[in-house]
Amino acid sequence: MDQSPLIPVILIFAVAGLAIVGTLVALFVRSRSRMRGGRGALWMAGVYGAWTGLEDSASWDRARAQKSLRDWYSIENANDLDSLLEDLVRGRQTGNLAWDAGRAADTVRIGVAAGLLSAGDNHDWTVRIAEVLQSRYASWEQYLTAFEAGMHAWQDRSGVQDPEARARVQRNYPLLAEKVWPQASFKTPFE
């Protein structure tokens, strides 16, 4: 029996099968990447939320973000921003790693809004911030306590005595405990 007419049929089914398997693998990888991205965004909200109460500075309009970076940190470009973030992530601004890295998280989000950081940069800084904070603190509560101590030290040096400003972290605590911490473990792995 001549099998030559079967060869094209077999090849068609083989190629179709490979295409289906390839598509399924690609969809799985993409969904895993989105889960990691969503988990990273939620985890970052837990970090910057100590200061902002979950206001995501990446939602600011570009002009506001650029003005804030310029006024607060004299940031004019992406290189200036990277230098500042490096200092903050290493705790070199105030010596309190939680306070500095928490401000880095918010500053990363402002940098995204300002157009100085890409989605990839945001991810890279999220991983860096997670590495330093997760290596130093065991839980969201420990991080928040250290962040608040750093904030109060900064407020003391700056002469901030307004009870409303000094209670900022305590006001944000219930929101974080309800909305973020149950969904994003402090020790969430990113890589």
Domain count, the chain: 1
Helices (H) and strands (E) counted in the chain, each on its own, are 8, 0
Q: Quick check: is 51 in a domain?
A: yes
Q: Quick check: is 187 in a domain?
A: no
Query: C-alpha angle with apex 31: 25 to 36, nearest 5 degrees?
Result: 125
Percent of the chain with pLDDT over 70: 81
Average model confidence (pLDDT) across the chain: 87
Q: Quick check: is 84 in a domain?
A: yes
**Token pair for 14:** 């083989």
* pLDDT tens profile 37-53: 477 889 999 999 999 99
Q: Quick check: is 186 in a domain?
A: no
Q: Quick check: is 1 in a domain?
A: no
Distance separating alpha carbons of residues 119 and 124, to the nearest angstrom: 9
| pLDDT confidence tier of residue 32, bands split at 50, 70 and 90 | very low
* pLDDT tens profile 41-96: 899 999 999 999 989 999 999 999 999 999 999 999 999 999 999 999 999 999 99
pLDDT higher than threshold 90 for residue 14: no
**Token pair for 174:** 């219930």
Spatial neighbors of 54 by CB under 8 A, at least 6 apart, are: 45, 172, 175, 176, 179, 180
* pLDDT tens profile 104-158: 999 999 999 999 999 999 999 999 999 999 999 999 999 999 999 999 999 999 9
Query: Which residue, among 106, 76, 68, has the nearest Cα to 88 in the 3D structure?
Result: 106
| pLDDT confidence tier of residue 34, bands split at 50, 70 and 90 | very low
Amino acid in the structure at residue 51: W
pLDDT higher than threshold 50 for residue 36: no
Structure-model confidence comparison of residues 30 and 60, the more confident one: 60
Q: Model's pTM, two decimal places?
A: 0.79
Q: Quick check: is 191 in a domain?
A: no
Instruction: Please give the backbone phi and psi of residue 51, each rounded to the nearest 5 degrees, phi first.
Output: -95, -40
Average pLDDT over residues 160-187: 94
pLDDT higher than threshold 70 for residue 161: yes
Q: Quick check: is 161 in a domain?
A: yes
| pLDDT confidence tier of residue 33, bands split at 50, 70 and 90 | very low
Instruction: Please give the backbone phi and psi of residue 53, each rounded to the nearest 5 degrees, phi first.
Output: 70, 30
**Token pair for 157:** 């040096």
Query: Which residue, among 142, 113, 114, 108, has the nearest Cα to 126 in the 3D structure?
Result: 108
User: Which residue segment(s) compose the domain that 80 sits in?
Assistant: 6-179
Query: Which residue, among 54, 53, 26, 52, has the nearest Cα to 41 in the 3D structure?
Result: 54
Q: Quick check: is 185 in a domain?
A: no
Amino acid in the structure at residue 183: Q
Average pLDDT over residues 10-30: 58
